[in-house]
Amino acid sequence: MSRIAPRLRRRLSVPLAATAAAILALVPQTATAYPNPGHVTGDIAVHDPTMIRDAAGRYLLASTGQGLQLRTSVDRIAFARAGDAFAVKPAWWSGYSSVPEAWAPDLTYRDGRYVMYYSVSSFGSQNSAIGLATSTTGQPGTWTDRGIVLSSGSGDDYNAIDPNLFVDDDGSWWLSFGSWWSGIKLVRLDPATGRRHASDTAVRALAARPDRQGIEAPSLVKRNGVYFLFASYDRCCAGTSSTYKIKVGRATRITGPYLDRAGVPMTDGGGTLVLESHGRVVGPGGQSVLKDSDGHLLVYHYYDGQDAGRAKLGVNLLGWSGGWPSAY
């Protein structure tokens, strides 16, 4: 790619005397230490954003609501609404929601093909399903739905929403997912079909809250041979009353165990804070992580406490001081 994406404008709430090295090494101890989102403009009213960059350098962002809305950007700053992924919404959605929209999409661009996993459900329901769609261009109306990959109901201990595809260095495909109930799960996929692996059908536990409180929106990242699991904790979607926050754990294997900085397993409620409410930024979460030309990006939504609690797009670069991610 010939064009390098510009770095985000950053405003950090730390003393002016702090050096650049100290900023990068900072592990926030209070909410005032967290950075504000980088500068973005245009159509940025989103929930559960996922963003990729294709071979031409174009950014494509998908989010929850009104079918599956797509936005594009050429500079990672100005975003414009492109339209709905589907020309016609899949008929099977009606079995999981009375509202013709999908939630929490996950985009991947690989080998010249766009792949999107997404979920269909209704708020607070365990009657949920994860679908798969593909496109050769990524343009609105060009996506072909491939049907249901995974579903959940009252007999399951998990909720089949918030999918995230991770392709490992050996070419294996893994899908993490989950919301509330018993937490975040992981299944293996067949790269040839994008569906469940025929000989590995295990549903593995990655993270959970022993008190059954909120944990959802997994995002898996591998860096220097170490796996990192990002997840959103607590309550989303309540405007300025939202308590969402982003935490992370790390592991030496894709299947875990994922431990936080203090060594507490994420299956026991552990998780090291990456970003939480601060200033006008309320309830950041619903995140995804994109590796771009200038580093890893944390892409999320938050509620603007100084703009009637409207949901907006947040983008921050991640630093990795000490082997742990922090937003800056």
Longest dimension (CA), the chain: 59
- Would you give the DSSP letter of residue 265? B
Q: What percent of the chain has pLDDT over 70?
A: 90
The pLDDT of residue 325: 97
3-state SS, residue 23: helix
67: left (phi over 0), alpha (psi -120 to 50) or beta: left
Average pLDDT for residues 237-262, to the nearest whole number?
A: 97
* pTM of the predicted model as reported, rounded to 2 decimal places: 0.89
Look at residue 248 and tell me whether its pLDDT is greater than 60. Answer: yes
The pLDDT of residue 124: 83
Domains parsed from the chain with CATH numbers: 39-327 (2.115.10.20)
91: left (phi over 0), alpha (psi -120 to 50) or beta: alpha
Handedness of CA 71, 72, 78, 83 (dihedral sign): negative
Catalytic residue status for 101: no
Q: Are 2 and 277 in contact (CB under 8 A)?
A: no
Look at residue 162 and tell me whether its pLDDT is greater than 90. Answer: yes
β-strand partners of 125: none
Choice among 48, 106, 260, 292 that is catalytic: 48
Cα–Cα distance list, 309 to 6, 64, 223, 303 (Å): 28, 17, 35, 5
The pLDDT of residue 4: 28
Check residues 212 and 292 and name the one with the higher pLDDT. 292
- Would you give the DSSP letter of residue 39? P
Look at residue 31 and tell me whether its pLDDT is greater than 60. Answer: no
Choice among 162, 216, 234, 292 that is catalytic: 216
* Amino acid letter for position 326: S
3-state SS, residue 20: helix
The pLDDT of residue 9: 32
Catalytic residue status for 75: no
